[in-house]
Amino acid sequence: MSSKSDIIGETGLQFFGKVSASISHEIKNVLAIMNENAGLLEDYTRMLENGKPINTELFKTLAGKVLKQIQRADGIVKRLNRFAHSVDNFAMSVDLVEIVAFMVELSHRSASSRGVSPEPSPSTGPVKITTNPFFLQSLIWLCLDFAMDTVDNGKAIGIITEETEGCARIRFTHLKGLTGISIDEFPSEREKALLSLLKAELTVDDNAGEIVITWPET
């Protein structure tokens, strides 16, 4: 049987790998589009060289499309950079609202491939806790991943980040498929190890269709 630190280390590595793979996939798509735009530019140039008139607006349109993809790639790389730097500090003050929004961005491809959409509620202000940012992200990712499997295709997962009675919490809502899920299935040893490290608690309310992560004292 693995020790808690082994489980945490393994879970963290898997998380890092999954996010990196997803981001590299997004970058590949951007490169593929730029490849086609450059190819079309080459096609038009060849046609011009062969004496076929080409409307110059087409070149402007193509340049605009390339610029759009550069901006998209820049956003992807910024996310990758932010994610990579989340391992820099073992403990620091973080805003749960921001971290949840970031995890929703990172899980976009995974959600999209399953036909579901995580939808964070509008923020009423920051919800600050001091914790390990990387493993916090890992825990939110695992909860989101599990939540995505409990809603039907085309459905939204509500995410509410709030501070009530001195507690910070993240609620994943509208999870109608929680009914019938065994207590052994979720949280698994991975989530339990992360919860212990992050000094958080997790409850699954199958009647309300909610998974709630709570930090008892903030």
Partner 1 sequence: MKILLVDDEEELVSTLAERLSLREIDADWVTTGEDALKRVDTENYDLAVLDVKIPKISGIEIKKKLAVKCPDMKFIFMTGHGSEDNFKAGSAEAGPEYYLPKPVSIKTLIKKINDVLRK
Q: Which residue, among 32, 217, 70, has the nearest Cα to 130 in the 3D structure? A: 217
Q: Tokens 């039907």 label which residue?
A: 152
Q: Tokens 């409990």 label which residue?
A: 150
Please report which residue ranges of the chain form alpha helices under DSSP H.
4-49, 56-84, 96-106, 108-114, 133-148, 189-198
Considering the rule CB under 8 A, would residue 207 count as an interface residue with partner 1?
no
Q: Which residues of 173-193 are buried (b: 16+ CB within 10 A; e: fewer)?
A: bbbebbeeeeeeebbeebbeb
Binding partner 1 (rule: CB under 8 A), the pick from 64, 115, 126, 216 is 115
* Closer of 69 and 214 to partner 1 (Cβ): 69
Least separation, in Å, of the C-beta of 72 and partner 1? 10
Considering the rule CB under 8 A, would residue 64 count as an interface residue with partner 1?
no
Considering the rule CB under 8 A, would residue 43 count as an interface residue with partner 1?
yes
Considering the rule CB under 8 A, would residue 121 count as an interface residue with partner 1?
no
Least separation, in Å, of the C-beta of 179 and partner 1? 24
Binding partner 1 (rule: CB under 8 A), the pick from 8, 11, 12, 37 is 37
Residues 138/194, Cβ–Cβ less than 8 Å = yes
* Closer of 25 and 60 to partner 1 (Cβ): 25
Binding partner 1 (rule: CB under 8 A), the pick from 2, 5, 9, 32 is 32
* Closer of 64 and 126 to partner 1 (Cβ): 64
**CA 64 from chain center: how many Å?**
28
Residues 181/151, Cβ–Cβ less than 8 Å = no
Tell me the Cα Rg of the chain. Answer: 22
Considering the rule CB under 8 A, would residue 29 count as an interface residue with partner 1?
yes
Considering the rule CB under 8 A, would residue 35 count as an interface residue with partner 1?
yes
Binding partner 1 (rule: CB under 8 A), the pick from 18, 65, 155, 174 is 65
Residues 36/28, Cβ–Cβ less than 8 Å = no
* Closer of 116 and 197 to partner 1 (Cβ): 116
* Closer of 63 and 91 to partner 1 (Cβ): 63
Q: Tokens 């509620």 label which residue?
A: 121
Give the residues across from 203 on adjacent strands: 212
Residues touching partner 1, count (CB under 8 A): 25
Q: Which residues bind partner 1 (CB under 8 A)?
A: 21, 24-26, 28-29, 31-37, 39-40, 43, 47, 65, 69, 109, 112-115, 153
